[in-house]
Amino acid sequence: MSFKEIIDKVVADGAAYCDIRKEHWNKTSLTLKDGVPEMVAQGEEEGAMVRVFYGNGWGCVGTNDLDDIQETANRALTMAKKSARYKESETDLADIEINQDKIKIPMKEDFRDISAEEKLSFLKELEYNLSKNFVKSTDIRYRDSLVEKEIITSEGTHIQMEIPRLVAYLIVTGKSDTIQRASEGTGGTGGYEITEKTLDKTNVVLDRLETLLEASTPPSGKMPLIMDPHLAGVFSHEAFGHAAEGDLVASDNSCLKGKLGEKVASDIVTIKDDPTMEGYGSFPYDDEGTKTRNRVLVKEGTLNDFILDRENAWKLDLEPNGGARAEDFRVKPLVRMSNTIMEPGDMKFEELLEEIKGRGVYAKASSGGQVSPAQGTFQFNAQESYLIEDGEIVKPLRDVSFNGFTLDTLQNITGITDKLETGIGHCGKGQTAPVSDGAGHVLVSEVMVGGRE
Amino acid sequence: MSEKLIESAKEIIGKLKGRGLDGDVFGVNCRNVEYGIKKGELTDSSEYDDVGLGIRVLKDGKLGFGFCTPGYEEKGVKQAVEFSKVSQKIDLKFPEEEHVPKVETFDSKIEQVISEGKGADFTQELIDGCVSYAEDITPTMGGVEIYLGSEIVANTNGVLLEKKRTAMLGSVMATIPGEKTSITASEKEVSKKSDIDFKNVGERSAEKVDSMRNEVTLPEGDIPVMLESRSLNQLLGFGLIPSFNGENVRKGKSVYSDKLGEDVAHSHLTLKDDPTQDWGIGSSPFDDEGVVSRTLEFISHGILKGFMYDLKEAHKSETESTGNAIRANFKSPPDISERNLVLRGKDTPREELLPDGGILVDDIMGAHTANPASGDFSIVATPVWLIENGEKKGRIEGVMLSGNLPELLKTIQLADDYKKTYMSLGGRSLKLDTPSARVDDVIVSGK
Ligand SMILES: [Zn+2]
């Protein structure tokens, strides 16, 4: 039976909706640790997920055995029926435009045509550039993946798309009195041409590590903070973006619930999440077959939109905007971000510095963090930081972490510079999604900085 | 369910031997079932089946890796051979046949739970337990996860091992809606057996959030800190365990390099990796390279005893594998990891750990930002309660903790509430059996 026939049968058995998402993956990963290829793997795999909506219940079943989709669909229907017994409140899918489309994101240079030897020699070149006397250890990671997807729904949508992605990470470690680590990643949606950007990053990580090795521990307390574009991008994604995910909003797990049209940030703040722009998190259709569009989440300080899949758009009475993404065919799509950008402003970096009277911190690049979208709280660590005194950068700091309430912090943004820079990331929400984020330099008038002093 | 997998593994080993090559196969056949709660209701039901094999081959002294699904063995072997060309030279010896210990890891009742779709019923029990506690408390997130799987390791030395594992997890985040921000607390229970009292997990989450209604301020001055096991676990996982990784030790990225045999912790403290513990969350009779499981002591009565190795790192460090090879899935080559971490020591009844009051930290944010090399951490603690006369006086917002994990071990006091659990954070998953503990050498700061 064809996928179309399987879907028709599930609908004939009483389901309100059914879709099948089939994926074929081609992946390569290379890791060069201290010049030694530690992990090299290459492989192909394929599989599919069947989603069935019955009554108010869902059943989603994924498999990597494509000979057995009929059985997989039966299991999804059984699961949806059982789940419907417990699901009392009404739910539905908001309407979308029905599309038949075939789309291929181009690779200027197809990474499948580059031999493993050649990829490895590129990593060795990076390694060579990172060999400095203060570098104790290097870790260079390369990943490329090409996914061919086919999404067929009981409503007639039929999307076929090919999405290539590539990412490379540089991690260096050095030692003074303690061990310090600096990392940078580059990546994008496209082909091997993306690696051109990686070479420039070697100097960035080297400078960062050298700085960290002579850095002191930070002060703690409330103070002004300048975030560099990478950290501000991560802040926009983590602290704000997650709270703007429609599933969290609709299930009362977001501090932005009920705030549409309200002021949530200072007037100079505009944040968008745009899968259609160039970036590591780009895609033309989401995993429900909805055509993607730019989402302006905050417009000049006012909450303007959420990231939405079809069910949560229905619950919130808004329009789906292509927010459903699944890591692969094993799992169901969730509401996820794509390329999250805080729009640049009109200031210069020096002007931000001048705003700081007394003590402040300039923090660059993130080394991780955690957020609670429900409580609207965040905690981040910066990779590289500097102490500011009366508008002057005084000395480097390490292990700087800061935390606060997202909405307070957005209100406290008093300056944004005019140059956008973007970075890449892997967003975790039970599933991993390739994303990018970006901003200008951002001045926050007050945030809680915590150090080890 | 694993016949197909075993046949496929045998075919691969046959193909390797046919080419005169050494190698091994790791195969998985598993089912993962998940039910999700949102806004007090069961909203999501999903599951996936995974079957596949990871192949390692040693060609001209270089180790290649590839993966495939049953039926595509030839392609998988070819890929591994092809990729060995860009790999490092390493004289890896795959394990020989050896006696495999019996470790309890499989509860056949879980097969039934899956076939009857009982996970949906369990999810409803979680919900019922939570909502029955108080009118304004809702389970806003959480759910039930069920795992049933079979894993095999085979190699060209004739080893063919199979292990079957089951697991269940129930979790609830209970919420009291608020003006500016809502109050939330969560509870989680994990077991290899079908023995979780889901209703009770729901009740406990509600009871916890109920005790957070009242906000109090952090007292001035030094204050004793008690960490619930899940906070301690995260700090151990990110600030300490990386220092027991043989590779980090060899490369000087561990605080414990050159410290074997030295006093590194309180003399009552023992920290070990014990995959032979029956029903341990991370237990199994052999690791993902087919090395037979044994107990590995990291710290015994305060003295640094050992580090963990897989086959590759053992070769580089000129020692033996400790059976600490773990694969995230069949598509990844093995990596060094703790398996079933056990923390033991002289313990004090939980209620007596804070005789003069203090703060109780339920959970922390940002443990994965701890410096894995130094053990330094600076994290947000939430929820936190002020404890006076053994009672929760209210929650404290905005508490930050900072310190150094290896230093904490020198004065840590364990409670007697040992708990088996699992957590996944920052791309890592940890399986542990630990108690809550009092830690004195941390800096506590408030907002
Ligand atoms: Zn994220």
Per residue in B73-114, pLDDT (tens digit) is 999 999 899 888 888 888 899 999 999 999 999 999 999 999
Tens digit of pLDDT for each residue in A413-422?
999 999 999 9
CB contact under 8 A, A61 and B44: no
Query: In terms of domains, do A225 and A209 share one?
Result: no
Q: Half-sphere exposure of A120 toward its Cβ, with a 13 Å CA cutoff?
A: 21
Q: Number of A to B CB contacts under 8 A, please give it.
A: 223
Query: In terms of domains, do A73 and A202 share one?
Result: yes
* CATH match of B3-210 with 3.30.2290.10: yes
Query: In terms of domains, do A411 and A266 share one?
Result: yes
- Mutation pick from A24, A135, A375, A407 vs chain B, by most beta carbons of B within 10 Å, is A375
Which one of A213, A235, A259 terminates a domain?
A213
Q: What is the CA radius of gyration of chain A?
A: 23
Tens digit of pLDDT for each residue in B220-245?
888 999 999 999 999 999 999 999 99
Residue pointed to by tokens 């989401």: A286
Residue A25 has pLDDT above 70, yes or no: yes
pTM over 0.80: yes
Say which DSSP state A372 is in: E
Where exactly are the structural domains of chain B?
3-210, 225-445
State the pLDDT at residue B288: 97
State the pLDDT at residue B374: 84
Contacts of A327 in chain B (CB under 8 A): none
Query: In terms of domains, do A228 and A136 share one?
Result: no
Query: In terms of domains, do A103 and A155 share one?
Result: yes
Below-70 pLDDT ranges, chain B:
1, 180, 426, 447
User: Using CB atoms within 10 A of its CB, is residue A2 exposed (0-12), middle (13-18) or buried (19+)?
Assistant: exposed
Q: Give distance in angstroms: CA of A68 to centre of ligand 1.
A: 34
Domain with A26 in it: 3-213
What is the rounded distance in angstroms from the CA atom of residue A169 to the CA atom of residue A55? 46
Query: In terms of domains, do A100 and A176 share one?
Result: yes
Residue A453 has pLDDT above 50, yes or no: no
The answer to whether B217 and B446 have CB atoms below 8 angstroms apart is yes
Among B43, B272, B169, B161, which Cα is nearest to A58's?
B43
State the pLDDT at residue B372: 84
Residues 296-355, chain B: which have Cβ within 8 Å of A? Answer: 331-333
ipTM of the complex: 0.88
- Mutation pick from A83, A136, A137 vs chain B, by most beta carbons of B within 10 Å, is A83
Structural domains in chain A (count) = 2
- Mutation pick from A253, A361, A410 vs chain B, by most beta carbons of B within 10 Å, is A253
Residue A452 has pLDDT above 60, yes or no: no
Which one of A195, A213, A231 terminates a domain?
A213
CB contact under 8 A, B88 and A37: yes
Residues 320-359, chain A: which have Cβ within 8 Å of B? Answer: 330-332
CATH number of residue A106's parent domain: 3.30.2290.10
- Beta strand B41-59 pairing with B22-38: antiparallel
CA distances from A112 to A15, A121, A143, A433, B123 (A): 41, 16, 12, 22, 45
Contacts of A44 in chain B (CB under 8 A): 75
State the pLDDT at residue B89: 87
Query: In terms of domains, do A25 and A166 share one?
Result: yes
Tens digit of pLDDT for each residue in B38-82?
999 999 999 999 999 999 999 999 998 999 988 899 999 998 998
Among B101, B52, B400, which Cα is nearest to A27's?
B52
State the pLDDT at residue B242: 94
Query: Which amino acid appears at position A148 of this protein?
Result: E
Rounded mean pLDDT of A225-247?
97
Which one of A213, A234, A261 terminates a domain?
A213
Query: In terms of domains, do A194 and A225 share one?
Result: no
Termini Cα distance of chain B: 55
What is the rounded distance in angstroms from the CA atom of residue A251 to the CA atom of residue B142? 12
Q: Which residue of A has its CA nearest to B114?
A: A79
